[in-house]
Amino acid sequence: MPAPMLVTFAAGSTGAWKIDQIASVVGAGLPAADRLAMIEGAIPSSAPAILSAKWALRGVTSNLRYTHHTERAGMEAIQEGLARPTATRAALIPIRKNEAWWNLAQDQRRAIFEETSRHIAIGKAYLPAIARRLHHCRDLGGEPFDFLTWFEYAPQDAEAFERLVRELRVTQEWRYVEREVDVRLSR
Amino acid sequence: MPAPMLVTFAAGSTGAWKIDQIASVVGAGLPAADRLAMIEGAIPSSAPAILSAKWALRGVTSNLRYTHHTERAGMEAIQEGLARPTATRAALIPIRKNEAWWNLAQDQRRAIFEETSRHIAIGKAYLPAIARRLHHCRDLGGEPFDFLTWFEYAPQDAEAFERLVRELRVTQEWRYVEREVDVRLSR
């Protein structure tokens, strides 16, 4: 587990990723923009990249909140990191869950997350093709989402990614999602 | 579960609480100061109360990370809130856990936290006398601790509070604590 790292996703006219589409899945969407920059590490809100952005979302990589050690070991054995040269497609999926979710205790959230919805198992089935990093925002204050999930994959795995997203969106866990935006990117 | 709330503990020359003692339990302590202000809600780092402080620690109230719903219900049935007029004693105990703790998966941390160390059960045994609020700081960035726990109790429960703290500090969970400071207060 590396130490928590702040990551800012700034959408505007600069950035390594071209924004191909922004779709609202549940609730309000996000404004259109041409490019997206993923900025790792602390950055002042007065930085030009933030000030000039159409929108900027912040999240923190952190310890896993639900994954058991056998599940983590199973994923770590096969997963690959971000920034693979072949991974020229990406998706940023910001999500906010509703009050009912956050009112659940840890064992209830875990049961819905995995025993019922198989969130970990579904994600694992698409490893190593679909690389993924989760960013937490609920505790940062002032952020419109609870989580930002970032995915990277090669063009030939684009259909697999669509299946992954579809599988997750029909789970019981997703009934607690009150806002979801789907940003697709390429480079 | 209320929404996450930022809380700043600013030690200096103002604040509702008189600082009676600052003790280093493990690792570096904190500078001496006369009074402590507990500021609930967002506050700019340029605010006078922060700029003039000897030290300021920030944390966020958040969802419980380990407590099961039956455990939570058992506590909610008997616990009392902060700011009781009779609770004129308080303690602020900032803690940082080591890398080995954060490298554990969720099920391993839960097992040490409760099945082995009985953290929830120990705390519950002192309800409603010792009221308590936990603040998370690990994901905020730049904070020297992982957690700030705030306790409030009446003078006649001071001995009970010493027992509570002693019981927790001999648990297996506490072997993962690499820095702990114990700030005692009164009003």
- Please give chain B's pLDDT, 187 residues, in tens: 778 999 999 999 999 999 999 999 999 999 999 999 999 999 988 888 899 999 999 999 999 999 999 999 999 999 999 999 999 999 999 999 999 999 999 999 999 999 999 999 999 999 999 999 999 999 999 999 999 999 999 999 999 999 999 999 999 999 999 999 999 999 9
Note the pTM of the prediction, 2 decimals.
0.95
For the record, the structure tokens of B156 come out as: 């006649």
Amino acid at the residue B85: P
**A141 part of contact set with chain B, CB < 8 Å:** yes
- Quick count: other Cβ atoms within 10 Å of Cβ A41? 9
For the record, the structure tokens of A39 come out as: 């900025």
- Per the CB < 8 A criterion, the answer to whether B10 and B50 are in contact is yes
Per-residue exposure over B105-120, b if at least 16 CB sit within 10 Å of its own CB, e if not: bbbebbbbbbeebbbb
| Residues 33 through 92 of chain B touching chain A, CB cutoff 8 Å | 42, 60, 62-69, 71-72
- Per the CB < 8 A criterion, the answer to whether A155 and A87 are in contact is no
Beta bridge partners of B74: none
Whether A44 has a pLDDT exceeding 90, the answer reads no
Comparing alpha-carbon positions, the chain B residue that sits nearest to A104 is: B69
Amino acid at the residue A127: L
pLDDT of residue A152: 98
For the record, the structure tokens of B49 come out as: 């109360």
Band the pLDDT of A45: cuts 50, 70, 90: confident
pLDDT of residue A100: 97
pLDDT of residue A16: 96
DSSP B45: T
At residue A49's C-alpha, the angle toward residues A45 and A54, to 5°, is: 90
More confident residue, A44 or A175: A175
Per-residue pLDDT averaged across A126-141, rounded? 97
Residues from chain A contacting residue B99 (CB–CB below 8 Å): 1
B66, B104, B141 ranked by CB distance to A6: nearest: B141
- Per the CB < 8 A criterion, the answer to whether B23 and B31 are in contact is no
CA distance A182 to chain B (A): 25
Amino acid at the residue B178: E
A60, A99, A104 ranked by CB distance to B139: nearest: A60
**A2 part of contact set with chain B, CB < 8 Å:** no
Percent of chain A with pLDDT over 70: 100
Comparing alpha-carbon positions, the chain A residue that sits nearest to B99 is: A1
| Residues 3 through 22 of chain A touching chain B, CB cutoff 8 Å | 4, 6
